[in-house]
Amino acid sequence: MKYQQDAAAIIAAVGGADNIESAYHCVTRVRFTLRDSSLADDAAVTRGPVVMGVNDTGAQYQVIIGDK
């Protein structure tokens, strides 16, 4: 259940489900295509215990997942 809480916090921090155009993942990252990247709150995203950092490339908003 903890992963569901972490995922919900990440979704809220990137501007909510309505702001997510697409998402996919690999082992270490969740990659989002956001409708409005200005709604993403980097500080809120990285507050989560499973988030190591973010990388905003403009086209993709990447959430780096791992143990802190």
**Whole-angstrom distance, CA of residue 7 vs CA of residue 44:** 12
Q: Is 52 a catalytic residue?
A: no
8 sits in the region (left: phi over 0; alpha: psi -120 to 50; else beta) called alpha
**Whole-angstrom distance, CA of residue 2 vs CA of residue 18:** 23
The one catalytic residue in 1, 2, 26, 59 is: 26
* Residues forming the active site: 26
